[in-house]
Structure 1
C-alpha cells in the first residue's frame, strides 16, 4: 500500500522536476545564445513554453530561432505529461488516497503495545473483531486488498496491504513497538517464516501462530512461537467438551469473554504490584480486598500453574496472579494496578 503511493508521489515530483528543468534549459539557452540577462531569459522562456504568443524581447539570431523551436517541441511533451499527472493527482482521487495513506502510516507509527495480525481470513478477521470490541489496538497485514475494503473506514482497524512474508510490511506494521504478533495465514510455511522474522525483529514480542498440520507444531515452536494454535483441533475439542461437560464449558466461556466482550478473568504481572505485595504470602493480597475479585490461580515464572492457590503461596518475581470478577470489579482492579487486561 505505502509503496504504491510512494510511486504516485514520486511521479508527481518527477513531473514538476521536468517543468523546472525545461525552464532552466530555456534560461541558459537564451543567456548563452542571445546574451539576454536572467530576467529577460526567464520571460522569453515562459512565453515560449506557454505558447501565449507575446512578442520577443528582441529579434532572435538563427541559432536562437532553432533553439526556440526545439524548446517549444520539448515543452509540449513535458507539459502534456505534467498536466496529465497533476490532473490525475488532484482530480482522480490520488491526492485523497495519498493523504489517507500518509495519515494511516503516521497512526501506525505512533502505536505502542499493539498487536500485529498477519492474515485477514476467517481466523484473522475474528481476532480483529474481538480486539476491536475490547479496544485493543492492532494492525492487520493482508495481501488481498478486497478483504480489507469493508473495514477501511473503521477507526479501530489499521491495515498494511501487502505480503506478511515480506519484512518491509512487518516493519510498516510497527512490529518493533508491538507487544504481540498473531500469524494466522492458511499456509503453515508462511506462518513459520513470519515467526522467524518477527523473533529476529523483536526478541521480546509474544508470538502466537496458527498451524494446520500436526507436523508444523514443533517447527513453529522451534522457530520462536510462544504459543501454537490448531483451530480445527481446538474447535473439535471444544465441541466435544460441550457434550461431555456442557455447564462447565459454558461457564468457562462466560468468564473468559462475556456477552459484552468484557474480560472477566485477568492476569496481574508481578512488576505491576505495589511493593507491599511483592514477595509476600498470597493471603496478604486476599486480605486487601482491593476490588472484590477472587484469586483463582498463579502462573509461575517457569510457566507452571497453581489452581486455587492457598493463602500461604508466595508471590515471587516473574509470576502472574489470575483474578476473577465481574465488569465493575475488573475495572477497579485495572485502575488500582494500572495495567491493561
Structure 2
C-alpha cells in the first residue's frame, strides 16, 4: 500500500507541483520580510517565525503586540492554512484519479480475460475507425489500443469493445494480447516505422499470430512482409484502383449472366473481339449478397486459350470449376471495361446469342433476389 501511495504521489501533474512551489516560496518570502520589518526580528528568527506561523504551529515565543503585527501574523497564518488545504486537495484529487484509472484498467483486463475470439486494432485514425465500424457491425469482439486519450474517450465501450489508452510501440501489451484467443491484429497507424516495430514485437513472441498491417508507402511493403506481417494493405494501391474504376465508370459494364463452364471460352472470345477487358468475375451464391470475386484483368485472347488448355489437361481443376458453377446455379457477373458504348452494344448482341443475360449493371441486392428464386 505504501508503495502504491508513493507511486501515486510521485506522479502528480507537473503544473500543479510548479504552482504549489511558487505559492510556498512567495508566501515564505512574505513571512520573512514581514517578520524582519514588522515583527522586528533578525533573519534567523524571521525564518523560524515564518515557518511555525505558516504551519499554524504557533509556539507562542514571539507574540504580536501592535495592530500591524497582529494583522501580519493573521494573514500569514490564514495563507498557510489555505496553502495546506490547496496542497492536500491536489494530492487527494490526484490519488483519486489515479486509483480510478487503476481500477478502470483492472476492469478492462478482467473483461479481456473472459473475451473470446477478439480482434486487436492498433491505432484509431481514419483507417482504424473504418475497420472498427466493420467489425462492430458484425458483432465481433474488438480491443482498441490508441495513445490519444481524447480519441479513446470518444469510443463507446461495451460488452464486446474494450478501449485501452496506451502506445502500442512502447511496451509488449499488444504481444501479450495477441495470443490464442486473438483472431487477428490489425495495425492501422499512419507511420510505417511504428507499424514495422509493432509487427516485430508481436511476431517475436507469437509466431502463429495473424497480422494485418497498413503500409503508407509502397516501398515499405517488402520490409513489413519480411518483419512477419501476413497481409499488407496499401491505401495507395486501393486508392489508385478506386480512382481508375471511378474514372472508367462510363466505360464499365457489369453483365449478369447464366451459363455453364463449357461456355467460358466462347464468351471470352466475344469480350476480346471488341477490344474489351474482363476485369473480374463475381460468383453469386444463392441468397448471399456479397459475391465471390475473382480478378482477371485481361483482354488477351491467348490468355483464354491457355486457360482452356490448362483445364483440358487438369481434370481436378476442371471438376472444381464445374462444381463452382453448380453451386451458384451458373449465375455470375462479369465486370468489363471497354473503349466506348457502341462496343458494349455490339458485345451484348453477340453474347445474347450464346448465353442467357439476366441483367445489366444490377446491384448485389437485386442479384440476391434473383438467386433466391433459383433455390425455391
TM-score, with structure 2 as normaliser = 0.44
TM-score, L = length of structure 1: 0.48
